Structure 1
Amino acid sequence: MTDSTPPRKNGTILRRPAWAESQYVAEALRTETIGGALLLVAAVAALIFANSPWREAYETLRGTYVGPEWGDLRLSLGHWAADGLLAIFFFVAGLELKREFLVGELRTVAKAAVPVTAAVGGVIMPALVFVGIVLALGGDSQALRGWAIPTATDIAFALAVLAVIGSYLPSALRSFLLTLAVVDDLIAITIIAIFYTADLEVTALLWAALPLAAFAMLVQRRITFWWLLIPLAFATWALVHASGVHATVAGVLLGLVVPVKARASVPRISTLERDTDVAHRFEHRIRPLSAGFAVPVFAFFASGVTVIGGGFAAAAADEVAIAIVCALVLGKLFGVFGTTWLLARFTRAELDEGLGWRDVFGLALLTGVGFTVSLLVGDLAFGEGSERNDHVKLAVLTGSLLAAILASIVLRLRNTHYKQIAELESHDGDADGIPDVYQRDDT
């Protein structure tokens, strides 16, 4: 028995994931879809407040400072949302990344080639489009600091769009989008760490290795008492923040040290059984916190920008805003679709049976839905509260909305077709709880 259909002669790309992977993706999609809806509500609420008679109260709330005086931890609520709450989001991203590379769809070169290549193309091409348009419109070196803004895909928003336009898209497409987004997050956090670290304090960064190592030692031994792990995680975050590296990097590092595979034996003090997947347990508990609270709160504080009174007109005249919209819609499309097509062209591979290049085209459009990381990079590039950063926010919202609309048009046309396929694949003749499509013989 096998989990999927055998490959074609020249190889197959975007194949249906194995049953276990399909179940994992379905669980992740449910949480992220709800999170995407909450994120949208938070963003709309922020826009309403920022353009209402209570706009000053909104700005006062966002600028309220809380936290201890020591350790550079007295931050505004807006900074706490961007530096603190998004660290939770990137912790989940670190867990996903490690899982995908060790036991998921990225564990072999053949499986990893397509989503990794697409993710890289989806970063490089938008950056090139952004730089090209800024230079063509006479932008200066300061404007070029925003080159990384349109490179990231917001998985929560993208999956929320998928849920709205139809729930019958093939699992291969959904798995491809989720896997691509995981690699996309890794590239994004690497860009933030390398290109948006102004002043590096090496001593603080080295000190951060101590609580990180202690955290890793405990989770590797399956000792997961919250009163031990949370202080160590916070200490790691605080020291990375003090080093000048963006604090969200700490979230990824903490996620990457969590074990994915089961262990033959665990110490008696452990709170887990030996066959427990620690990363899955953490992700199951923390993903709802990330998708349902951390990211929406960040969206509320990050997306409030004045549109009325000439705000939108000023943004439309800014070369940075124009470049962001074009890069999100066209750069992401050409980057993801183009690299996937080229990979298939030069390896002579074919799409999995039942899929068409129109599906990849629509999915590539959908990767232009950028929000969370794009807004974060905008803050880092131009400074929170600056006029140009307000233009960035409007451009990210506009480009993401346009990409979502175009993707919806393309993918919605396929929904009826895939609904019919889904009804056939749902047949479970042997009543074992696994659709028969996942149990075909190799012969």
Structure 2
Amino acid sequence: MNAEEPSLPRSRQANERLHAMVPGGAHTYAKGDDQYPEDLAPVISHGSGAHVWDVDGNRYIEYGSGLRSVSLGHAHPRVTEAVRRELDRGSNFVRPSIVEAEAAERFLATVPTAEMVKFAKNGSDATTAAVRLARAVTGRPRVAVCADHPFFSVDDWFIGTTPMSAGVPAATDELTVAFPYGDLTATAELLTRYRNEVACLILEPATHTEPPPGYLAGLRALADRHGCVLVFDEMITGFRWSEAGAQSLYGVVPDLSTFGKALGNGFAVAALAGRRELMERGGLRHPGERVFLLSTTHGAETHALAAAMAVQATYVEEGVTARLHALGERLAAGVREAAAGMGVGEHVVVRGRASNLVFATLDEDRQPSQRYRTLFLRRLLTGGVLAPSFVVSGALSDADIDQTVDVVAQACAVYRKALDAADPTPWMGGRAVKPVFRRLA
């Protein structure tokens, strides 16, 4: 394998063009070039299956596709064909399309724990709609978010709790409180402290750790006891854990849940789903005060809903979730073996459910290190692997996994040298990659 770093002159030029016009140089902070080693931030030309090509012509095996959204692989034929069929029929009308009814029926058949659904274009709109609905039905102001989960929304109620809180009034920030994942006692204490003030508990049902036994059921009981709404953010767990969501896998039904990412295989579609009694408050068939729930011009674009229906059919009929788990298990085993073989098994650590793997890069003291992450990412890119995480797509082949493991082994050999020198600087190639949430640029 060619050990030379890829040449990226066109990508560097494209990054400069982007920064001149687009704040941050990307439309999602997690895609920013500050997340990649210096001068090794490829700008993508196109993708097919589990591979992408940058504008310089370099090909990569890609992980974490579209920030976990492209779980079937790029340009999946079943999805693109469904989209093509709708494009010639028009994409948006002054009244609902019949596609909206078909998409809702398909979603509720796939996620039978939900009774109603409303579509949107992004996850932030869906989670914020859930929060607004919870406040309306409870008459309470506070939102309790899980402190151990990294992201819920771009809106003020959540962003005000992060280091990037500029522009969020303190009065808004003060209405959001936090509870720790897996700790029912601490959550009960929080709900007692803010008795009759908390409108909802919002969390991802699982992330890189599985819920402790009885935890989600205990949270359901706490929400019922304190009269607040339980919201599951299933942006990531939806489809990757089960096509019916983590709520189906773990057998705990929330009042409201939000889906996105894998739902459209890269097309812009998200969903708010939940109990009819709550959801109808945003409708026209209830006697109470109306809730302005979700009302978006593009929320029901026909081609995106067609994509969502094709994704759901593919998951159910082809057993995609099981394939994601099998691929992830093969990758995790290979990476762990490669890291151990190079003597860095306690420093390059694979974590998470097999369908949603992440990796940690630890320093000499086994503490998380952005500097060692920079070294690791640089070696992966040199080997033709674009991997901000090890989140798999269903388009990966066994050969792709084997090649990735070979590249990881080479990266781990360099990692061992850096650990022996107690300094990764000579192998970083420039400044360290940076965390997304930070106060200063």
Q: TM-score, normalised by structure 2?
A: 0.26
Q: Which has the higher strand share?
A: 2
Which structure has greater helix proportion?
1
TM-score after normalising by structure 1:
0.26
Indicate the structure whose relative CO is greater, using CA pairs within 8 Å and at least 6 residues apart.
1
